[in-house]
């Protein structure tokens, strides 16, 4: 889960990482209020979950209330790479002597945490990596050993930060590492990390991605839940604990196992149809899961037919059949279902379903035939 800059900065603050004082604003008037509170000059910043806001006109300095009004008015509603700005962050502007880059992320192949630090910040790190790779000092951190002040200091020296920034930067990086590890981040990035003419080091930007697998131990993450950009179908599926991805077609898909679900999409496409979704119900295809899956698909007005493709392995087809029968009793469907049931106990499963078949619940012996039938119904 990505955080907005202002949330990232609030997250940083918990771990003692210095940022500039500021506040959020959803209107021009609020922006002026926040500016008065932070003290002029201020910087007015678009809050969107995408980088390169500066270049897109989403970050502007303002010396007084009139300039805040002007910039806040222009930035609110601005479209930055498909993200419309609805909220601003207004903070006291910093004087910048130097811009650095710092981040922690996971190096999966190395099975270690990776810190990246560069004296050439402010620009996109991908650009630095391409044009001047030696300008990025890397450090691999054993998660058991952690990052101590001494190692941080050696890293800062290696990155060639300005002499007066080194001590503060090392301290800040140790804190950023704590934020990254204890805060369960996938990414904790500061670009730019600045040195001011007065010799202070602090974070001017914050890019934080939280590892949602750790949300069970972070009840406080609740406040970051942000549905504004989420597909309502995916939101509903998530609430029901389903592995669902919304697509733009008309054939709803239910399959067990991600591989089979993907193959089902392929077969639907192959016979001239378009899938409305990817949905893997996993191993436990009981009535609850099946009913939840049917509810989510049924709620999508674009769906014209539903293809249920189950291959029983450990999951037994007769159990799946019972699940489908019970689920159909619970959910009032607006589209017909075509099933393909095969694998363990397929004969028993099909026998169970035989008496329930109708023009809204149909069965086909193979995946290809089931796909053809579902696509024909969707296009009828
Ligand atoms: P991004 O473009 O989305 O990464 O947004 P940033 O928060 O990194 O801001 C972009 C650029 O705006 C920074 O690299 C700075 O050069 C500039 N900037 C941001 N805040 C300030 C500030 O307080 N003072 C000054 N002088 N420049 C700032
Ligand atoms: Mn930035």
Question: Which SS3 state, helix, strand or coil, does residue 363 take?
Answer: strand
Q: Establish whether 101 is a catalytic residue.
A: yes
pTM above 0.85, yes or no: no
Neighbours of 126 (CB within 10 A): 9
Contacts of 144 (CB under 8 A, 6+ apart): none
At 229 the pLDDT is 67
Q: Say yes or no: CB of residue 22 within 6 Å of ligand 1.
A: no
| Residue range 251-285, pLDDT digits in tens | 999 999 999 999 999 999 999 999 999 999 987 66
Q: Establish whether 212 is a catalytic residue.
A: no
Mean pLDDT of the chain: 94
Question: What is the CA(214)–ligand 2 centre distance, in A?
Answer: 26
Assign domain 21-92 to its CATH superfamily.
ATP-grasp fold, A domain (3.30.1490.20)
One CATH from 3.10.20.340, 3.30.360.10, 2.30.40.10, 3.30.470.20 for 98-224: 3.30.470.20
Q: What are the CB-based long-range contacts (under 8 Å, 24+) for 158-164?
A: 159/100, 159/117, 159/118, 159/119, 160/119, 161/98, 161/100, 161/117, 161/119, 161/195, 162/97, 162/98, 162/119, 162/195, 164/195, 164/199
Domain 232-379 has CATH 3.40.50.261: yes
Question: What is the CA(121)–ligand 2 centre distance, in A?
Answer: 9
At 46 the pLDDT is 98
| Residue range 349-374, pLDDT digits in tens | 999 999 999 999 999 999 999 999 99
User: In sequence order, what DSSP letters do the residues of 226-281 get, joined into one string?
Assistant: --TTS-HHHHHHHHTT-EEEE-SSSEEEEESSHHHHHHHHHHHHHTT--BSEEEE-
- Of all protein residues, the one whose alpha carbon is nearest to atom 13 of ligand 1 is 122
Q: Which position among 4, 11, 100, 101 bears the catalytic label?
A: 101
| Residue range 187-225, pLDDT digits in tens | 999 999 999 999 999 999 999 999 999 999 999 999 998
Calculate what percentage of the chain has a pLDDT beyond 90. 84
Contacts of 170 (CB under 8 A, 6+ apart): 149, 152, 153, 155, 156
- Nearest bound ligand to CA 121? 1
């Amino acid at each position: 889960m990505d955080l907005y800059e202002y949330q990232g900065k609030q997250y940083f603050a918990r771990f003692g990482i210095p940022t500039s004082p500021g506040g959020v604003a959803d209107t021009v008037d609020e922006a002026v209020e926040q500016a008065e509170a932070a003290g002029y000059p201020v910087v007015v910043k678009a809050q969107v979950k995408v980088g390169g806001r500066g270049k897109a006109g989403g970050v502007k300095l303002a010396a007084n209330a009139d300039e805040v009004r002007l910039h806040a008015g222009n930035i609110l509603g601005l479209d930055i790479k498909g993200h419309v700005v609805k909220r601003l962050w207004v903070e006291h502007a910093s004087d910048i002597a130097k811009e650095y880059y710092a981040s922690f992320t996971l190096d999966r192949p190395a099975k270690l945490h990776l810190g990246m630090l560069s004296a050439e910040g402010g620009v996109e790190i991908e650009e630095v990596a391409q044009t001047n790779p030696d300008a990025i000092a890397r450090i691999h951190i054993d998660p058991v050993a952690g990052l101590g002040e001494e190692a941080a200091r050696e890293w800062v020296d290696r990155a060639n930060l300005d002499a007066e920034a080194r001590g503060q930067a090392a301290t800040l990086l140790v804190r950023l590492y704590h934020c990254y590890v204890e805060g369960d981040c996938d990414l904790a990035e500061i670009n730019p990390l600045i040195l001011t003419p007065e010799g202070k080091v602090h974070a001017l930007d914050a890019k934080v991605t939280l590892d949602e697998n750790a949300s069970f131990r972070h009840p406080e993450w609740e406040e970051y839940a942000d549905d504004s950009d989420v597909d309502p179908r995916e939101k509903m599926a998530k609430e029901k604990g389903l592995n669902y991805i919304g697509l733009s077609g008309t054939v709803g898909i239910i399959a067990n196992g991600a591989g089979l679900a993907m193959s089902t999409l392929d077969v639907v496409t192959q016979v001239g149809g378009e899938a409305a979704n990817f949905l893997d119900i996993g191993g436990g295809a009981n009535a609850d899961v099946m009913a939840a899956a049917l509810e989510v698909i049924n709620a999508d007005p674009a769906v014209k037919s539903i293809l249920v493709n189950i291959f029983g392995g450990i999951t037994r087809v007769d159990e799946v059949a019972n699940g489908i029968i019970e689920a159909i009793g619970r959910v009032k469907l607006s589209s017909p279902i075509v099933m393909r049931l095969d694998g363990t106990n397929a004969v028993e499963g099909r026998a169970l379903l035989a008496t329930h078949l109708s023009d809204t619940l149909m069965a086909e012996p193979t995946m290809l035939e089931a796909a053809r039938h579902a696509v024909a119904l969707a296009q009828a």
